[in-house]
Chain A
C-alpha cells in the first residue's frame, strides 16, 4: 500500500518531548514512514527521513553528537537544523557539496509532544489548541487501524474534534491518535490541568487504555497491509560523480548583532529571515552583498555547534574600495543583507594525527571555525595567532574558550615573526597538516619556511585574503576549449572568465583576484602567465592548471573545458 496525499496532510504527534533525551536519536513512525528524531544540545528538535543519503542506513542507529548527527556506516555528519552534510571522512580534503542535504520534516513541540507535518505544508494545518499545563499520559500502542480506534473512542463517549483529536469530558482527557502505520495506532492522552493526576488515577487510566488495546486487538485480528516507505530520489546533480560546483543563489539575512571584537574589527551575527541556515563547513565563506553595491567575501567563524546564525569578522580597510567601511559605518543591527550560500575553498581534513593552524590578524576568522571543529571532533591541534598587540587581537573571548591549544604571539617584527614560524613549523610529525591564513606577505613567509622545513605542498593549506601582486592584463591570446570545441580571443584588458561568460561558458569564481582557487581550470597545452597567489610554485611550473580569473596565456592555450 502506498502513502496517499490525504494521509500526508496535517500535523501529527510522533513522540513525547521526553522521548528526545539528550544525545539520543528516537525512532519515530507516521503512516509507515520512518523518522529520525533528535534534540541538539541547543534544544532544537530535528525530524528527518530516517536514511543516510549515502547508502540508505537508518540514521536512528547513528550518533547524536549534540551539534551534528553522525551516520554509523561511513561517518557522514549532518548539521543540526539544516540536515546538510558537513563532512565525508572518505574524502577528508574535499568539502561536501552543500546540496547533500537530508530531508527535513517541519516539526515543533507543543503540549509536551513532538509534532510533524509529512507533506511539508505545515502552514495550512493547525495543531489543536488545548489549555496548557496538562499531564501527559503514558502512550498506548494498539495494533489495529486508526479508524478502529477512532470508532471505539467515539463509542466510549469521546467527542471527535477531528479524526485524530478527541475530547473525553467525563474523564477530563484530550486524546490524540498517531497513525503509526495502516495497522498500528498510538493513543496519546493529556489529562486536563487541574484535574486529579495522582499516581492512582494515572494507573487507572493506563489500565483502561490497556484493556481497550487488548479488546481491539482481539476483535480485529486482521489489520490492513503496512504502508510502503517512500524513498525519495536524490537530485540528479548528486547522483553524478564527481559533483559539479555551481554558482549559488543569494539568501536574505538580518543583522542580529553587531559588536566590536578589536579596535578596527567588527563582528556581525547574521540570521536567516526564513528557514534554517544552509549547512556550512569549517573554512567556508559567504559573499556579502553590501548596500553600496559591492560584494565581499567573509569567512564564517562558527563552530559546528552554532547553526542558528553566521558570525563574520570584518576589519576596517582604510585603503580599500569601501566594502569594510560600508559594513562598519552603514550597516546596523536589524538591517537585511543578501548573502550567498556558504562555499568552501579551504576545506579542513579531519583524518590527521595533529593539525597546526597559523593566523595573522583578521586571517583568524576561518581558522577559528576550524579550531572549534577540531576541538569538538577531538582531533589534536594548535592554533597560533599573530597580532600587532594584545588589544588588537580579534575574537579574544572566543579564543579563550578554546583553552590551551591557542598560542598568541604579539608585537613581533618581521624578523621575530620569521623565527617564530620556524619554531612552530619544526619537528613535523607523521600525518600532520598546516593551515595558514593572513596577509599575503605573512603567507609567503610561512609557505617558504614550511617548504624549507620539509613540509610537502599537499600538507600546506592556505587562504589569501587578497592578491597584492600588480596584475598585468596587457597582451591578447587565443583560448581553445577542448571539450566544448570553442575557440575565443581574449583581448588585452579582459580576463578569460569574462570572455567565456559572454559565450555562455560559466567558470565558477569567487574572489576574481587569483586568491581563492575557485576558478581553477586544467590546462592541456600552451604557455601560461600565472598571476595568482593560489597555486604553489611547483604547480605553476608544472603548467597543468591555471586560475582563469587573473592568469593569462601566451599565444594559444588549450583548456580542458
Chain B
C-alpha cells in the first residue's frame, strides 16, 4: 500500500449499531486486518494487525477509521442531521471489485432501465438528458447537477412514471452522495449515500445509507428496497473487467451520458489515486 492519498483518508469500516458494548469485531481495510472495539462504557477504539492503536469514530450510523493522519475531518452530509428525517443504515454488501468501480456505478443513470428494470427505470425511456458536472475546487468534490431520469411509478400517489431529479456529490475518492427529488415533499430531497470500504484493491464492502423524508415506509421496507437495488448492481460490478477502475481515457468508450464518470476519473487521476485504479490502458 503506497498510496498516500488513500492512506490518509477516513474510511468506513462497519455499522455502528452492530458493534455492541463490550464486543470486538474483526474487519479488513487496505489489505490490513483490524479489530474494532466498544468497551462496556461505550468508548470506541480500534487496533491494526501490527498492534498500532487506531482512532475510531461513529458518524452517519457507521464506524470510521484511518491508517494515516487525515488533513481534514470526515465530509459533511448536512441533511442527515435534519430532525424530521429517518436515517436508515441499509446494509453492507461484499463486492468482488474495486471501490472506485462501485462509486462509478453509483454515479451512473444510463443503466437504470436495464439493471433496475421497473424500479429506477424502464424501457423505452432510456435517454440520459444533458446534465452539468463540475469540480468544486474549494470543497474538493465532484458535483453533477440537473440530472433527470425517467422513473416508473415515480410518485407515491400515482401509478404513472415521471422524470426524477438527481444531484450527485463525490466528496471522498470512495464515497458518493446522491440527492433525489422526494415523492412525499416536493422541494426536498431524499439522500442516499454509498460508502465503499476498500478491504483490498479488488475486494470492497459497499455500505449504503438512506436519509429520507418518508412517514409511510417502515425501516425494513426502506432496507429491502435498497438491498434489492444493490443486489441488481452486484452481478454487473463483479462481471466488470478490469476490476480496478481504468483512469486512462483510452481504456473504455465514454459517451456524453458518462460525463460524471469522466469527471470522477479525471479527479482521481489529478489526485494520483493509485489504490483500486489502473493508470495505463492495455
- A residues near B (Cβ < 8 Å) are 34, 50-51, 53-58, 60-61, 72-75, 88-93, 100, 229-236, 238-242, 350-353, 379, 431
Centre residue among A55, A91, A100, A231 by max chain B CB count within 10 A: A55
- Distance of B211 from chain A, by nearest CB (Å): 28
Give the bracket for the number of chain B residues in contact with chain A.
20 to 34
Asked, given contacts A61-B239, A229-B241, whether A241 binds B255 with beta carbons under 8 Å apart, the answer is: yes
- Chain B residue at minimum C-beta to C-beta distance from A99: B253
Asked if B110 lies at the interface with its beta carbon under 8 angstroms from chain A, I say: yes
Q: Which residues of B contact A51 (CB under 8 A)?
A: 241
Q: Which residues of B contact A352 (CB under 8 A)?
A: 124
Are the CB atoms of A91 and B114 closer together than 8 Å? no
* Stretch from B28-36, B65-73, B217-225, B256-264 that touches the partner: B256-264
Q: Which residues of B contact A93 (CB under 8 A)?
A: 127
Partner of B113, one of A50, A53, A75: A75
Q: Which residues of A contact B252 (CB under 8 A)?
A: 53-56, 234
- Chain B residue at minimum C-beta to C-beta distance from A50: B241
- Distance of A254 from chain B, by nearest CB (Å): 32
Partner of A72, one of B115, B126, B258: B115
Asked if B236 lies at the interface with its beta carbon under 8 angstroms from chain A, I say: yes
Q: Which residues of A contact B235 (CB under 8 A)?
A: 61
Q: Which residues of A contact B136 (CB under 8 A)?
A: none
Q: Which residues of B contact A230 (CB under 8 A)?
A: 282
Other A-B pairs, 6, CB within 8 Å; known A53-B252, A72-B115, A75-B126: A91-B257, A231-B241, A233-B281, A241-B255, A350-B126, A351-B127
Asked if B254 lies at the interface with its beta carbon under 8 angstroms from chain A, I say: yes
- B residues near A (Cβ < 8 Å) are 110-111, 113-115, 123-128, 235-236, 239-242, 246, 248-259, 262, 281-282
Are the CB atoms of A56 and B115 closer together than 8 Å? no
| Interchain residue pairs with CB less than 8 A apart (8) | A56-B242, A72-B114, A92-B126, A233-B282, A241-B259, A241-B262, A350-B126, A351-B125
Asked, given contacts A51-B241, A229-B241, whether A234 binds B128 with beta carbons under 8 Å apart, the answer is: no
Centre residue among A53, A234, A352 by max chain B CB count within 10 A: A234
- Cα–Cα distance between A74 and B252 once the two chains are bound (Å): 14
Chain A interface helix/strand/loop/mixed: loop
- Cα–Cα distance between A90 and B240 once the two chains are bound (Å): 19
Q: Which residues of B contact A57 (CB under 8 A)?
A: 236, 239-241
Q: Which residues of A contact B246 (CB under 8 A)?
A: 56, 231
- Chain A residue at minimum C-beta to C-beta distance from B114: A75
Are the CB atoms of B262 and A379 closer together than 8 Å? no
Are the CB atoms of A90 and B126 closer together than 8 Å? yes
Asked, given contacts A75-B126, A241-B256, whether A234 binds B240 with beta carbons under 8 Å apart, the answer is: no
Asked, given contacts A53-B253, A73-B111, A234-B251, whether A58 binds B241 with beta carbons under 8 Å apart, the answer is: yes
- Cα–Cα distance between A89 and B255 once the two chains are bound (Å): 11
Q: Which residues of B contact A242 (CB under 8 A)?
A: 256
- Cα–Cα distance between A74 and B250 once the two chains are bound (Å): 19
Asked, given contacts A89-B126, A90-B257, A231-B241, whether A236 binds B250 with beta carbons under 8 Å apart, the answer is: yes
- Chain A residue at minimum C-beta to C-beta distance from B241: A56
Are the CB atoms of B124 and A350 closer together than 8 Å? yes
- Cα–Cα distance between A21 and B241 once the two chains are bound (Å): 25
- Cα–Cα distance between A100 and B248 once the two chains are bound (Å): 18
Asked, given contacts A57-B236, A57-B239, A72-B114, whether A238 binds B124 with beta carbons under 8 Å apart, the answer is: no
Centre residue among A51, A73, A100 by max chain B CB count within 10 A: A73
- Cα–Cα distance between A344 and B242 once the two chains are bound (Å): 33
- Chain B residue at minimum C-beta to C-beta distance from A58: B239
- Cα–Cα distance between A72 and B251 once the two chains are bound (Å): 19
Q: Which residues of A contact B236 (CB under 8 A)?
A: 57, 61, 72-73
- Cα–Cα distance between A494 and B12 once the two chains are bound (Å): 67
- Cα–Cα distance between A238 and B250 once the two chains are bound (Å): 8
- Cα–Cα distance between A234 and B246 once the two chains are bound (Å): 12
- Cα–Cα distance between A51 and B255 once the two chains are bound (Å): 17
- Cα–Cα distance between A34 and B239 once the two chains are bound (Å): 12
Are the CB atoms of A89 and B256 closer together than 8 Å? no
Q: Which residues of B contact A232 (CB under 8 A)?
A: 281-282
